[in-house]
Structures are given as structure tokens and as C-alpha cells.
Amino acid sequence: MLLEAKHINKSFHDPVTVPILKDVSIEIPKGQFTSIVGKSGCGKSTLLYILSTMDTDYEGELWIDGTRLTGKTEAELASVRNEKIGFVFQFHYLLNEFSVLQNVMLPGLKLGKISPQELEHRAIEHLRKLGMDSKALKKANQLSGGEKQRVAIARALINDPLIIMGDEPTGNLDKKNTEVVFDIFCQLSEEYKQSLLIVTHDPNFAERTQRIIEMEDGRVIQ
Ligand SMILES: Nc1ncnc2c1ncn2[C@@H]1O[C@H](COP(=O)(O)OP(=O)(O)OP(=O)(O)O)[C@@H](O)[C@H]1O
């Protein structure tokens, strides 16, 4: 099992205590393309932030790749995130003053496991896969919204993550670019067996994933 969440409960205290996630347990095997769907406010993003180790304030247990992550220090979790998880958000968070290539390479430089030359080679490969290699030397702010999101996906792939997690990765895109990004995720899943876990409110997208986890009022209902 790639990812296991066991009996996750989470409340916000604002100022009264409001339970948000209620006994959520899920298992995600390697290689699966999974979507999390549900009405606005049902807890999808809250769950994803726990599964991605970014939020540690919850009850229950999180396991990734056979390691129990609940209770680990922030430094240990940061290292797990860098090595094992690629992120794609609704907003691309590219650094505008850097080139496309530099943006894609950054998480790899931070991890420091392979040489900058090898990293550059790998970054160009990923950009090629996503049809963005011809824009490698452009500045991030010279790209369209859809192109920026493709670069963000290349960046998420740079450290060969075990899983890519996305929170509404097409939420800021028009219909045409949404299609392009969906196609890329499907290609990563089918051709490269990349594990993906994507929060979306788009039923057309969810239909194209291998498994849909449906949430309602803080629970997994299907
Ligand atoms: N920091 C916070 N403090 C208090 N309540 C919060 C906080 N973050 C989220 N919530 C509440 O938790 C609930 C779940 O929010 P969450 O963002 O997980 O929902 P969602 O299913 O991802 O919604 P959407 O599809 O609109 O993004 C909502 O009622 C929200 O108002």
C-alpha cells in the first residue's frame, strides 16, 4: 500500500470546536489514479493536507510507503515531502523571475541527490513529455495559465515522486486547458504508472480516474 490513513479525525477551533473530518480511513495502492470528490466544504482539501503531511494537527494515523508518519518531526516530514510527494496546486506558484527550466529543477536542487547536469537533463525530459521543452528558457511570467500549470506538473515530477497530489489543479483554468491538464494526468497514469491523488469538484475529470473517493460532511461515503 502506498498510502494509508487510519481513522483520521480533525476539528477546527474557531472559536468553538467544529469537527471537519470524521473517522476517515483510506488506502491507496501504488500506481492508482484516484480522485477525491464532494460538495464544497465537505473536507476534501483538509484531508489532502493531512495526507500530504503538510497538516499534522489531527487524530489518527498516516502511513506512506510503509512508514508511519504521524508523530514525526517537521524536519522528517519535510524530507518525506521532498523525496516522495509531488504537489500541484490550483495556483502554480512558479517563480516568475526564473526560467521554466530553473523552476522545474528547483525541488531537485533542494533535494541535492543528483548533479545539476543530470537534473537539467531530467527536467528537459519532463518538459518534453508535457510539450513544454520549447519554452524551457522562457521566464515563467511569459507563459499562459495552462502552460504554467504544465510546468508546475513537470516540477512536481522532478524528484520521481511516489505520488503526485493535486488540490483542484485545474480550478484556475479554462475548459480547453483543463482538458490538456486532465490528458496529462491520464498519460502519466497510463504510460508511466504514476500514482496520482487529485481533489476535484469536476465530475468529468473524476470519471476519468481509476477510483473515486466520494466525501460528504467530513466522511468518506463511497
Ligand atoms: N483554518 C480553518 N479554520 C476554520 N475552519 C476551516 C479552516 N479551513 C477549513 N475550514 C472549514 O472546514 C470545512 C472543510 O473545508 P475544506 O477546504 O477541506 O473543504 P473542501 O471540500 O476542500 O471545499 P472546496 O471544494 O470548497 O474547496 C469547511 O467548512 C471550512 O469552512
Residues whose CB falls within 8 Å of the CB of residue 156, separated by 6 or more in sequence, listed in order: 86, 87, 88, 164
The per-residue pLDDT for 222 is: 87
Task: Answer yes or no: is the C-beta of 44 below 6 A from any ligand 1 atom.
Answer: yes
Instruction: Determine contact, residues 117/123, Cβ cutoff 8 Å.
Output: no
Q: What is the pLDDT of residue 172?
A: 84
Q: What is the pLDDT of residue 92?
A: 78
With a cut of 90, say whether residue 14 has pLDDT above it. Answer: no
Cα 40 to middle of ligand 1, angstroms: 8
CA of 61 to the centre of ligand 1 (A): 21
Model pLDDT, residue 81:
92
185, pLDDT greater than 90:
yes
**β 211-216/219-220 pair status:** antiparallel
Residue 161 has pLDDT above 90, yes or no: yes
Ligand 1 atom with the smallest distance to the CA of 168 is 27
Q: Report whether pLDDT(48) > 90.
A: yes
Which residue owns the Cα nearest ligand 1 atom 5?
A: 12
Joined grid coordinates for residue 9: 479525525
Domain of 12, in residue numbers? 3-220
Number of domains present in the structure of the chain: 1
Residue 15 has pLDDT above 90, yes or no: no
ipTM of the complex: 0.94
> Mind listing the pLDDT tens digit for each residue in 79-137?
999 999 999 988 878 999 999 999 999 999 998 999 999 999 999 999 999 999 999 99
In testing the pocket of ligand 1, which one of 9, 24, 39, 46 has its CB within 8 Å of the most ligand atoms?
Answer: 46
Classify burial at 182, counting beta carbons within 10 Å of its beta carbon; exposed 0-12, middle 13-18, buried 19 or more: buried
For the cut 90, the answer to whether the pLDDT of residue 187 exceeds it is: yes
* CATH code of the domain in which 97 resides: 3.40.50.300
Cell numbers that stand for 174 in this block: 479554462
Q: Which pLDDT score is estimated for 21? A: 98
